[in-house]
Amino acid sequence: MDKAIIIKSLEENVVKFNEYVKDLNKDEFEINLNNKWSAGQDLVHLIKVLKIVNIGFTLPKPILRLMYGIHKNKNRSFEQLQQIYKSALEGGAKAPTIYIPKPVSYIDKDSLIQKHASLNKSFIDKLNNHTQYELDSYRLPHPILGKISLGELAIFTSFHTSHHFELLKSKLGH
């Protein structure tokens, strides 16, 4: 997928998620329905993921090549990655412990939204610093999808935000 399309998708999905969360009241932001994460916890989860992805995108290319090898396959599409991820979740895959958020207070909502937007901007800046060849060639590990190209990870990061947005709307009945 073209880098410009991925960036546009990242921007739109984070804005859409943050605008939705911004309008939630205290109960909507903090409530855990059916043992599912609250909106605040979804937000913190997305922040945790972006922090790690940002680190991954700053690793030197020789380190990436040495640790994770070169991506030799054709990159999978947004739809293919989405299907693989959803199938894995249906099969019982869960977020690793480091990505599981603790309870989140409404008082932190605005600063968390700001942090989410800032980390996304930082990620887009890092993405812009990679050529299409680098995005297609270098890999990082994903806890559910295995070793994936940087481009696939960028696509996943956008999809992941959209996934949590849809889950959140469904949980809150909006």
CATH code for the domain in which residue 80 is found: 1.20.120.450
% residues pLDDT > 70 (the chain): 99
Q: Two tokens at 18?
A: 């943050």
Can you give the pLDDT at residue 73?
Answer: 87
Q: What is the pLDDT of residues 9-31, one digit of tens each?
A: 999 999 999 999 999 999 999 99
Can you give the pLDDT at residue 71?
Answer: 92
- Say whether pLDDT at 75 is over 90: no
What average pLDDT does range 153-159 have in this prediction?
A: 95
Pairwise CA distance, residues 167 & 22, whole Å = 16
Pairwise CA distance, residues 36 & 150, whole Å = 30
User: Which of 64-73, 74-83, 101-110, 157-166 shows the lowest mean pLDDT across its residues?
Assistant: 74-83
Question: How many domains does the chain divide into?
Answer: 1
Q: Which domain holds residue 17?
A: 3-172
Can you give the pLDDT at residue 18?
Answer: 98
- Integer Rg of the chain from CA: 16
Can you give the pLDDT at residue 105?
Answer: 97
Q: What is the pLDDT of residues 113-140, one digit of tens each?
A: 999 999 999 999 999 999 999 999 999 9
Q: Two tokens at 29?
A: 């932001």
Can you give the pLDDT at residue 57?
Answer: 97
Q: Two tokens at 56?
A: 């991954």
